[in-house]
Structure 1
Amino acid sequence: MSSIREPEWNSEPAWKLPGWAEPVIVACILFGAMFMTRRRNFRILRKRSSPSNGLGSLDSDGSSEALLPLKPYSEDEDDDIVTTRKHPPKKRSCCCFTIHTPNTARFRDNIHSRILQRFPFLVEMLYWIVNYAFYRFTAVASQHIFAETGIWNVAQAHGLSVLETEHNTVLHFLLPVRERSVQQWFMHGHQGLLTVLNKAYALIHIPGTVGFICWYYYVAPSFDTFAMVRRTMTLTNFCAFLTFIFYPCMPPRLLPREYGFLDTVRHDNAESVWMSGKYINTLAAMPSMHFGYAFCIGATLIFHSGLYRRTLESRQTRKPLFWKVFYLIFGLVYPAFILVTIVATANHYWLDAMVATAYVAISFLFNRVFYVFIPLEDLLLFAIRADKPVPTTGDRFHENGGRI
C-alpha cells in the first residue's frame, strides 16, 4: 500500500459526557426494565405461598420447561423415591442422556427466591454480567498466548492481512470502496457528520444494546421468542470472544500513519467510558460486535414487524401498517448506520462486519446449544437455595393491548 499524508482533523472537540453519566444511563435502563417487568400482586415479604399473592400458581419449571422438558418418571421406575418425596428430583433429557437434577421448588419461599419472582428480569441482568466477565477474560488470555511474540505486533500483522485480503482477493470486487476512502470523504467537507458518527460509535453501542434487550423482554410475544434472540446474541458473543483471544486484530485507527487512518473518536473527544482503560480490549477489531449486535437487532425488528409473516404467535395482534413499516425501516437503517459508523471512524474493516454477520447467522442456527447448561442451572440454583423465577416476558405489554 502506498503512503499517503495523514488526514487532518479541523473540527472543535465535541462536548464529552462526564465519566459517571454512561454507567448511570445503563443502570437506569436496566432497573427501569426490572421495574416495568415486575410481577404485580406479588409480595416479597409474605412468608407463605398462596394463590392470592400469585406464587401458588407459578412453577419455576415454566422458565425452562419449553426449552429442555423434564422427562417424566415411569410408573415402575424409582417409584419409592417419587412417592416419598414432596419435591422429587428433576429428570432432564439432554443430548440423548438422562440427567437427574435437584428440584428447587422447595426453596421458593426463601427471600432471594421471592425477590427473583418479583423481579424476574434480574436473571437477564445476571446473564449479561457473565457475558461481560468473559469479554474481560479475552484481553488477559490473548496477552498470555502471544506474550513471547508480542501481542501488539501480532495484532498489527493481522490488521494488515485483513486489508490485503480485502484488496487482493475476490473481496476487492465485492468491496470496491476502501475504508480509507470512506473516512477521507467524511474528513474533507463532511466533518460535522463525522462528529455525529463519533458520538454514535461511542455512545450507542452499550446503552442501545442494553435498551434493546430490555425493550424486547417487555414486548416479545413469548419468553421462548425472547430467549431465542438472547441466546443468539450470547452465542455470537462467545464466537467473537474466541476470535478475540486467538486472532487479535488491530483496528485501522491504530495502524502506522502511512496507511492514512485517523482515530477521529479520540480526536473529537467523543470517547466513551466503555472504550477506555480496563473496560475495553483494544486489539479486538475482528469481528465487529458493534455491527454484530446491530445486525441481530435489525433482524429482530424486521421479524417483530410481522410484515413477512402470515401467522402470529398466540398473544400477538396484527400491527397497524405504520408500525409495520416503522420496524421494517428501523431494522434496515440501524445496521446500515452502524456499518458506516464503524468504517468512517476507522474502528473496523469491512471484513469485520462480514464475519460478524456470519457469526450471527451461525449462532441463530445453533443457539439451542445452550440447552446443555439447563441442568447446570438446576445445580447452581440448588447450591444457592433459590427457585428460578417464571418470566414475565410480554405480560404487561400484552395486558395493555400489545399493539406496537
Structure 2
Amino acid sequence: MSLLNITVPVEEPVWNSQPAWKLPGWAEPLIVSSILFGAMFLTRRRNYSLFKSKSQSGYLDDYSLNDSRDRLLSHNDYPNENSDEYVDIISTSKYPPKQRNCCGTMVHTPNTSRFKNNFHSRVLQKYPFLVEMLYWVINYAFYRFTSVASQHIFAKTGIWSVAEGHGIAVLETEQFSWLSFLFPVHERDVQQWFMHGHQNALTVLNKAYALIHIPGTVGFLCWYYYVAPSFDTFAIARRTMTLTNFCAFITFIFYPCMPPRLLPAEYGFLDTVRHDDAQSVWMSGKYVNTLAAMPSMHFGYSFCIGMTMVYHSGLFRRTLEQGESRKSAFWKIFYLAVGIGYPAFILTTIVATANHYFMDALVATCFVFFSFACNKVFYVFIPLEDLFLYSIRAEKPVPTTGSRFHERGGKI
C-alpha cells in the first residue's frame, strides 16, 4: 500500500495563539496530593481513636468485620464448623486461619485479626482510604516500568522505528481496511479545524490533556469512594479501571505506538503539545513511555468514569441498592450529562492535540468492557494480600464507603 495515500504536502503551521501558561513543576503533584489526603481525611472513620482506650476495647469486633472487603469474596473465612479440621484448628489456635478459594483450590492464610490493635493497623482502620492510595502507587510504578520493558524488547530493531511503523499501520487501518466505516472522520481533519480559526480552543485542549488526566481520575476515585452506596459498587469501578490499566500496560510493552504528533511531518500532524509546552509532569522524565499511544488511557479512564456516572444517576436502573433512594430529576440529568460529556470532551482533546488516534479510543473502550466483565480476576490476589498484611502485622481495614451516603439518605 502506497504511503502517498495518507501523506499530505508539508506546510509550515501559522500560529496565531500564544503558548499556554505553564504551571510550575510542583503544582501538579501538590494538586494530586491535596486530593488524595483530602479524601483520606473525608473518608476517615469517625469516633475512632488511633490510640486504644478501654472505652474502645472491642470496637472492631462490634463493628462487624463481615462488612470488610472479605465479603466481596465467594469463600468461607474458616473451615466448616462441623468438620474435623475446624475442631483441630479451634483447639490449637485463638485465631484460626482463613480459608480462601483461589482458582478452585482452597488455601489457608494467616488470620490477621490478632494485629487489629497494633498502631499502624489502627491507622489503617482510621483512614481506610490509605489502601486505595497504595493500589494506585503500584499502578503508577507499573506504568513507569513499561518504557524500560518495551525498550529492552525492541533494543535490536529500534523502538522508535517500530513505534512509527505501528502508528502508520493504525492510520492505514482506519482509512483503508474493512474497519474504515468506523472512522468517517480523520484525525488530521479534526486538528486542522482547530488550527484554522480555533487555535485558542486548541490551547485550552492542550492544557486539559496535560492537567485533567491524573488529577481528574484520582479525584473521581476519591469522590466515588465517598459517595458510592456500598464498597462492593466502588470496588467494581476500581477493579475495572485497574484491569484496564494492566491490559493497556501489556499493550504498551509489546505494541509500542507513536502518537500522531510525533510522526514525520508529511503525515500532516502538528505537535501542538510542544508549541504549548503542555506536557504533564506525570508524563515527563526518564521512565515515561512517550510511545504508548495504543490504547488511549485518557479515553479509557474517561469512558469508565462516564459509565459509572451514568450508573450513579439511577436513570437506567429499576432497582436501587439497599439504603439508596431515587435522585431528583436535576441530579439524574446532571450525572447523565457528565457521563456522556466527559468522555466526548476527552475524545475531542486527544484527537485535536494529535496525541492519539481514533482507534486508540476504540481499543480502550473494548478494554474497559473486557475489564468490567472480568474484574473479579483480582480475587486471586486476596491470599497474597493476607500474607502481606500478616508480614507487616496489620489487620485489613473496614471500608467506610457508603457510611456518609446512608447518613444523607442516599441523595449524594
Task: State the TM-score, normalizing by the size of structure 1.
Answer: 0.97
Q: Aligned pair 1:124/2:129, yes or no?
A: no
Specify the SS of the correspondent of 2:269: coil
The range that moved more, 338-347 or 271-280, is: 271-280
The range that moved more, 342-351 or 92-101, is: 92-101
Q: Aligned pair 1:10/2:16, yes or no?
A: yes
Give 2:84's match in structure 1, choosing from 77, 84, 93: 77
Deviation at 1:86, TM superposition (A): 1.1
The 1:356–1:174 alpha-carbon spacing in structure 2 relative to 1, beyond 3 Å, is: same
The answer to whether the 8 Å contact 2:323/2:409 transfers is no
Deviation at 1:235, TM superposition (A): 0.3
The answer to whether the 8 Å contact 2:145/2:287 transfers is no
Q: Aligned pair 1:21/2:27, yes or no?
A: yes
Specify the SS of the correspondent of 2:316: coil
Q: Which runs of 5+ in 2 are unaligned?
A: 1-5
1:377-398 Cα distance to aligned partner (Å, 9 max, x none): 1011001110010000021232
Specify the SS of the correspondent of 2:16: coil
CA distance in 2, matches of 1:319, 1:231: 26
CA distance in 1, matches of 2:174, 2:116: 56
The 1:309–1:204 alpha-carbon spacing in structure 2 relative to 1, beyond 3 Å, is: same
The residue correspondences of 1:52-131 to structure 2 (distance < 5 A) are 54-60=59-65, 62-68=67-73, 69-74=75-80, 75-78=82-85, 79-131=87-139
Specify the SS of the correspondent of 1:100: strand
Give 1:161's match in structure 2, choosing from 169, 172, 180: 169
Q: Which amino acid aligns with 2:141?
A: A
1:135-181 Cα distance to aligned partner (Å, 9 max, x none): 11110100000000011011001001000111111232221111000
Q: Which amino acid aligns with 1:282?
A: T
CA distance in 2, matches of 1:358, 1:212: 21
Q: Aligned pair 1:215/2:223, yes or no?
A: yes
Give 1:133's match in structure 2, choosing from 137, 141, 148: 141
Deviation at 1:266, TM superposition (A): 2.1
Specify the SS of the correspondent of 2:62: coil
1:250-286 Cα distance to aligned partner (Å, 9 max, x none): 0000000111111112201332212222363100000
The range that moved more, 375-384 or 164-173, is: 164-173
Specify the SS of the correspondent of 1:98: strand
Which residue is equivalent to 2:259? 251
Q: Which amino acid aligns with 1:264?
A: T
Identity %: 70
Give 1:356's match in structure 2, choosing from 344, 364, 367: 364
Which residue is equivalent to 1:291? 299
Specify the SS of the correspondent of 2:108: strand
The 1:308–1:403 alpha-carbon spacing in structure 2 relative to 1, beyond 3 Å, is: same
Runs of 4+ in structure 1 off by over 6 angstroms are none
The answer to whether the 8 Å contact 2:302/2:343 transfers is yes
Deviation at 1:48, TM superposition (A): 5.9
1:116-135 Cα distance to aligned partner (Å, 9 max, x none): 00000000000000101111
Task: State the TM-score, normalizing by the size of structure 2.
Answer: 0.95
Specify the SS of the correspondent of 2:286: helix
Specify the SS of the correspondent of 2:60: coil
The aligned length equals: 403
1:53-80 Cα distance to aligned partner (Å, 9 max, x none): x433235553232222325423232212
Q: Which amino acid aligns with 1:214?
A: C
CA distance in 1, matches of 2:283, 2:28: 11
The residue correspondences of 1:5-404 to structure 2 (distance < 5 A) are 5-6=10-11, 7-46=13-52, 50=56, 54-60=59-65, 62-68=67-73, 69-74=75-80, 75-78=82-85, 79-278=87-286, 280-404=288-412
Specify the SS of the correspondent of 2:101: strand
The 1:203–1:322 alpha-carbon spacing in structure 2 relative to 1, beyond 3 Å, is: same
The answer to whether the 8 Å contact 1:44/1:111 transfers is yes
